[in-house]
Amino acid sequence: MKSSPQKLIIASRESALAMWQAKHIQARLQTLYPQCNVQILGMTTTGDQILDSPLARIGGKGLFVKELETALADGSADLAVHSMKDVPMNLPEGFALVATGEREDPRDAFVSNQFNALEELPDGSIVGTSSLRRQSQIQARFPHLKIESLRGNVQTRLRKLDEGQYAAIILAAAGLIRLELGHRIRGFIAPTDSIPAVGQGALGIEINAN
């Protein structure tokens, strides 16, 4: 690593969930290496900035890691913390995933103020999710529902639900649990209805391997 062994810098997105994840890894590192000064470098990624288009249309999950990898490449950071579900299958040359944390609940969560499950939603109900994977699977299983794109951080998505823009929204259970918002979960999506993303609920640590 380019920094001295006495100091490590973690690159992270600046959302509340991303910062929770970075602070979690920071605490683990400081416990393992108490002599090391572990700092967090908050960054805004392209995926965080473009919120008016479905993620699949503007470049996919890699938009959440590109700027963090730039910080690794130029030495601004020593490691980056990601939600594993946001990490592309193939990393750019010169980068490596070197560790994954203990996995939180990998399931998708059903969140609604009026209903307890997808099966309860009336015809034409609007369900929000940012994931093309979820959209495709839920639409195939529940063709009477209207599945719409929902972008933004966890708090923004919950606010849109509370404003009545959606009858229900689908989020990763792990994010809600980590932000102490597990009470918003009305139920979990059965894998037979929507298979969770690869790595969902796990944290990954990426470094510049050069």
In the predicted structure, residue 45 carries a pLDDT above the cut 80: no
On average, the pLDDT of the chain sits at 90
State the virtual CA torsion across 4, 41, 48, 81 in degrees, nearest 10. Answer: 50
Selection from 160, 142, 162, 141 nearest residue 151 by Cα? 160
Cβ neighbours of residue 167 closer than 8 Å, sequence gap 6 or more: 112, 114, 115, 121, 122, 125, 126, 127
- Over the range 151-168, which residues count as b (16 or more CB within 10 Å of their CB) and which as e? bebbeebbebbeeeebbb
128 and 68: one domain? no
Q: pTM, whole model, 2 decimals?
A: 0.86
The torsion region of residue 150 among left (phi > 0), alpha (psi -120 to 50) and beta comes to beta
User: Is 162 noted as a catalytic residue in this protein?
Assistant: no
Give the domain CATH number at 92. 3.40.190.10
Catalytic residue among 78, 86, 105, 108: 86
Query: Which tops the pLDDT comparison, 133 or 111?
Result: 111
Count: domains in the chain: 2
Q: Which domain holds residue 172?
A: 108-188
* pLDDT recorded at residue 151: 84
Q: Is residue 125 part of a domain?
A: yes
What's the DSSP call for residue 38? E
Q: Is residue 1 part of a domain?
A: no
11 and 99: one domain? yes
19 and 91: one domain? yes
Q: Is residue 169 part of a domain?
A: yes
Q: Is residue 194 part of a domain?
A: no
80 and 112: one domain? no
176 and 124: one domain? yes
141 and 155: one domain? yes
CA distances from 88 to 25, 59, 145, 178 (A): 21, 11, 29, 23
For 58-87, write each residue's pLDDT tens digit. Answer: 455 566 788 899 999 999 999 999 999 888
Q: What span, in angstroms and rounded, lies between the C-alpha atoms of 186 and 116?
A: 5
79 and 142: one domain? no
131 and 82: one domain? no
